[in-house]
Amino acid sequence: MINDILDLSKIESGTVTLDIEEVCPGLAGYGRAQFKHIAENKNLPFNIDFAADLPPVIVSDSKRLQA
């Protein structure tokens, strides 16, 4: 969390350049990789559902989106 705050302050001060582009977010795969094992260890179901009308791409900095 401290790194996130430091990144935000660098962006606000102009010392970090964002690389804004259209990205296809692999959020389902990322979510599974990050949290499925935690749910399994606690014997909890883990599902990821997205609305059918979500756009196929978003505009973001892919490096920071995956961080």
Q: What is the pTM of this model?
A: 0.45
Q: Is residue 66 over pLDDT 70?
A: no
**Contact between residue 62 and residue 21 where contact means Cβ atoms under 8 Å apart:** yes
pLDDT in tens, 3-17: 777 777 877 787 777
**Contact between residue 63 and residue 23 where contact means Cβ atoms under 8 Å apart:** no
What residue type is 8 in one-letter code?
L
Confidence of residue 44 (pLDDT cuts 50, 70, 90): very high
Domain boundaries, position 38 = 2-66
Domains identified in the chain, total number? 1
Mean per-residue pLDDT for 48-58? 83
